[in-house]
Each structure stands twice: as structure tokens, then as C-alpha cells.
Amino acid sequence: MTNAPPEVLTFGCRLNSVESETMQRLASSAGLCDTVIVNTCAVTAEAERQAGQAIRRLKRESPHVRIIVTGCASQIDAQKYAAMKEVDAVIPNDAKMQAESFTNLVAAKPSPPKGGRGLGEGGLGCLYPQSPPSPQPLSPQEGERGLAMQRAFVQIQTGCNYHCTFCIIPYGRGASRSTPIDAITAQVRACADKGFNEIVLTGVDIASYGQDLPDRPTLGSLIRRVLQAVPTLPRLRLSSLDPAAIDEDLWDLVAQEPRLMPHLHLSLQAGDDMILKRMKRRHSRDDIFRLCARARHLRPDIVFGADIIAGFPTETDAMFANTHDLVEKCSLTWLHVFPYSARKLTPAAKMPQVHGAIRKERADRLRALGERAARRHYESLIGTTVKVLVENNGIGCTPHFAKLKLQGQARVGGIVEARCVRGENDAVVAEVVKVV
Ligand code: SF4
């Protein structure tokens, strides 16, 4: 036993990272030591494979360490992880934000998985108890690996009410639950008071925000309330958005609110109507064309990012060409491309599969398309002066989410004006001209 402070190993999405920070603090304040918490992800088979590999390696290299597993993969199949000889306890996804989950462990009364049963036991739909996410204790200025925190992530929602045929998330995180507006506003204010200049509102399906709350506030009305309540906050950014659910309040803010960053990351997934139908997505190809046109009409400098799955079951060359064509015609700039990964028990896993080599080849072609679009965006910045959020490692982030190589002194987390002077390799060099 070395009494080393607890560590958290995080796999998967930004929400998992935010929650890992909280677990780190809860475990430390509970007095847990010589313990590693593995926060798993179930979105791809690869993410699960990596978590399993990490657990075995951890125990091999540090036999005295206690291994606690949580996250979506262990929520969906708790028995699989509980059966691993390396694993000391499994904390259900919903209990991982609760202090007593860690004080129980200190008292060496590892709690068996409560309520949540492995899918093996109860089959599909074994959704977890539905408590709304409680606001996370405020992140210190100190982030992972000692890097100063450049922006803060505020969780506004978790879970999802939809069941896209490729997606395992609802089985890991349950139905959509929203954090009350006052709690979010208080957290954003606390972040701003702590010196954060940019807040990212995050969740699983943030476009569903408020549907489970009295008065059913929309995401747009939440943003309006937050920005009114925290006039000192210069930049608010949104995490991934379902294109089928952008509300009118949000459209107004896109048009009129300069503190809402002109960068929308769309959970697009595909650009072919038959594939979107088989994915059970709620938007069509034409909806995306209309959305991009409306956004550009309201905010001409707006930039889009998108999540896209390449090689979804039954996708033909012609269907893939429709996706490729949509990305090109809508000039989507920041692409996150995933080769389709079959998830056990999801309907898509039972559909005729596209060969792995074809999935990879299509993903490579979409990534190349994205790189060309990003390069065009960076080239358009040369000669302009932009306000950037100073990140670690001398990087500056523009409102459109472009990353610039900064020259000149600037405090991490601060905002400066920088003049884009030249392209260098794949980056744009920008000279700091003024601290804002
Ligand atoms: S909207 Fe679809 S893809 Fe997104 S979390 Fe819900 S089920 Fe998954």
C-alpha cells in the first residue's frame, strides 16, 4: 500500500471527462487511496476493448491497486466487469456522481451493482434509475496533467429518449434528464467568477434539454437565461447538437447573441435519406441543407462541425456518395468521422453489415474531405485579426473553433486579439496584438 491519491482513467466522450473530474474529487475527499477508477465507454467495440486491456495492465503492473469500474460499458454489462478478477467493484453509472459511492468503498463495503442489472440478466431496456444529473462541484483552475483549465464544461443534461439503431448510449445512461436552470446558472456564474472565459454546455442530447422539467424550458431559453444572469461571461459554446431539434429561441440567439459562439457541431451521422431512416434519425438530407442555409443567413460567418458514421449497415456506394456530397455542399468544416462499429443488442448490429475495409476506406475519404474544408477555413484567416481563447501549449481557439499557433505572451484561459500572419505546416501562426 502506498497511500497514493485515487486516479481516474477516462474513456469516451466529453461528458465522461467532466464526470471523471468529479469522481476524482469525490474519491479524494472520501479518503480513497491506491485506487484507480476506470470510467468506461460503450460507443464502440474499440473503446470497450481498450478499457478491458487497461484494467488488466493496471493490475499486472500494480497488483496492490484497487480497481473500480464505472461508465456506460459497465452499466450495460455490469456482470462482465464484475466477473473480471482484476476488478474490485462496479459502480453504476448513475451512482458515480454520488459521494456515498466512494465513502462506501473506503469503508471497504464495496457496494454490489445496485438496481442496475447487466443486460445479460435482464435483457434490453434495463435502463437505470433516472435521477437528474446534479451540478458538478466546480472545476478547479487545475485540469488533467497539471494543465491550466482553459474552458469549463457544464453538464446540463444526461441520457436520451431516442433509440437510434446504432446507438448504445440510452442503455448506458437511461432516459433524458435535465439539470434545473437555476443550478446551471449558479454553476456558470461560479465558473465565470473563477476566471473562466468560455463555458461549454454539454450533455448526451442537449437539444432535448428541459423536456422533463416543469414549464419545459428549451435549450434556447436556457442559454438566454444563463447569458442574462452572467453578463461577465464572454463566450458560451455548445457541444454536439441534434439537427432535428434546434428551437426558435436558439435560432434567435444564433442571429443576435455575439457571446454564443458561431460554431454548431451537428450530430449528423449520415447524408442519405435511406440510411438516416435505417438509423432512425429524426432529420432528412433536405433538413440539413435548410438548417445550414438558415444558419448562414442569420450568422454569415457561422462554422459547422459534424459527427458522421461511415459504412453504416446496408450503405451502398451511392448512399455513401450522398453523404460525401452533403458534407461538401454544406461546407461542413470540423468533421468527426467514425467507421461504423456494431454494438451488441442494437438493431443495426442485426442488419447486413458493410465490410470492415469498405467502412475504413469511406471513413478515410470523409476525413480527407474534412481536412480540405479545414484547410480552406484556415487559409481564409490569413491577414485577419481574431479574438482567441488562449489554450495550453501556445494555442489560441477562435470563436469558430479554429486552433491557431500563438506568438507572444498570453495567460492560459485569457482572451487576446491575434493577427493571423501566415500558414506554417498545417497551422496558422497568429501574433498576439492585444489582451482583451
Ligand atoms: S440521439 Fe440517437 S445517437 Fe444520440 S444519444 Fe440518443 S440514441 Fe444515441
Same domain, 79 and 158: no
Q: Considering only CA atoms, which residue is closest to atom 4 of ligand 1?
A: 205
Locate the ligand 1 atom nearest the alpha carbon of residue 280 and give its number: 2
Q: Is 163 in the pocket of ligand 1 (CB under 6 A)?
A: yes
CATH number, domain of 422, equals 2.40.50
Range of the domain at 430: 385-435
Locate the ligand 1 atom nearest the alpha carbon of residue 161 and give its number: 6
Max Cα-Cα span within the chain: 62
* Dist. CA 316–CA 273, nearest whole Å: 12
For residue 161, tell me if it sits in a domain: yes
Give distance in angstroms: CA of 260 to centre of ligand 1: 24
CATH number, domain of 176, equals 3.80.30.20
Q: Are strands 427-435 and 415-424 parallel, antiparallel or unpaired?
A: antiparallel
Domain count, the chain: 3
Give distance in angstroms: CA of 213 to centre of ligand 1: 20
Domain endpoint, select from 339, 359, 379:
379
Give distance in angstroms: CA of 280 to centre of ligand 1: 10
What pLDDT score does 409 carry?
A: 86
Angle in degrees, CA 56, 75, 354, rounded to 5: 80
For residue 55, tell me if it sits in a domain: yes
Taking alpha carbons only, the member of 173, 92, 99 closest to residue 132 is 173
Q: Is 254 in the pocket of ligand 1 (CB under 6 A)?
A: no
Domain endpoint, select from 379, 398, 419:
379
Q: pLDDT for 373-420, tens place per residue?
A: 999 999 999 999 999 999 988 999 999 999 999 999 889 999 999 999
What pLDDT score does 150 carry?
A: 80
Same domain, 326 and 405: no
Give distance in angstroms: CA of 137 to centre of ligand 1: 27
Same domain, 244 and 348: yes
Helices and strands: H and E segment counts in the chain = 14, 17
For residue 134, tell me if it sits in a domain: no
Q: In what order do the strands lie in the sheet with 35-40?
A: 7-10, 35-40, 66-71, 89-90
Give distance in angstroms: CA of 42 to centre of ligand 1: 13
Which residue is listed with cell 484567416? Answer: 381
For residue 163, tell me if it sits in a domain: yes
Domain endpoint, select from 339, 364, 379:
379
Same domain, 28 and 151: no
Same domain, 428 and 372: no
> Which segments of the chain have a pLDDT < 50?
109-128, 135-147
Q: pLDDT for 97-109, tens place per residue?
A: 999 999 988 877 4
What HEC string does 353-398 produce?
A: CCCHHHHHHHHHHHHHHHHHHHHHHHHHHCCCEEEEEECHHHEEEC
Locate the ligand 1 atom nearest the alpha carbon of residue 163 and give its number: 7
* Dist. CA 18–CA 191, nearest whole Å: 14
For residue 135, tell me if it sits in a domain: no
Give distance in angstroms: CA of 265 to centre of ligand 1: 14
Taking all residues of the chain, what is their mean pLDDT, rounded to a whole number? 90
For residue 375, tell me if it sits in a domain: yes
Same domain, 338 and 218: yes
What pLDDT score does 44 carry?
A: 84
Same domain, 163 and 42: no
Which long-range CB contacts under 8 A does 77-83 form with residues at least 24 apart?
A: 77/118, 77/119, 77/120, 78/113, 78/116, 78/117, 78/118, 79/118, 79/120, 79/121, 80/118, 80/120, 81/40, 81/55, 82/112, 82/113, 82/118
Residues in the chain, how many? 436
What pLDDT score does 295 carry?
A: 98
Same domain, 340 and 389: no
For residue 240, tell me if it sits in a domain: yes
Same domain, 156 and 243: yes
Same domain, 367 and 338: yes
Question: What are the C-alpha distances in Å from 348 to residues 283, 315, 363, 366, 371?
Answer: 18, 12, 18, 21, 29
Same domain, 371 and 418: no
Task: Give 289-342 as a DSSP string.
Answer: HHHHHHHHHH-TT-EEEEEEEES-TT--HHHHHHHHHHHHHTT--EEEEEE---
Which residue is listed with cell 459502480? Answer: 91
Q: Is 334 in the pocket of ligand 1 (CB under 6 A)?
A: no
The amino acid at 377: H
Q: What is the pTM of this model?
A: 0.88
For residue 405, tell me if it sits in a domain: yes
Pocket mutation for ligand 1, best pick of 16, 75, 161, 169 (most atoms within 8 Å of C-beta)? 169
Same domain, 227 and 330: yes
Instruction: Read off the C-alpha cell for 188.
Output: 456558470
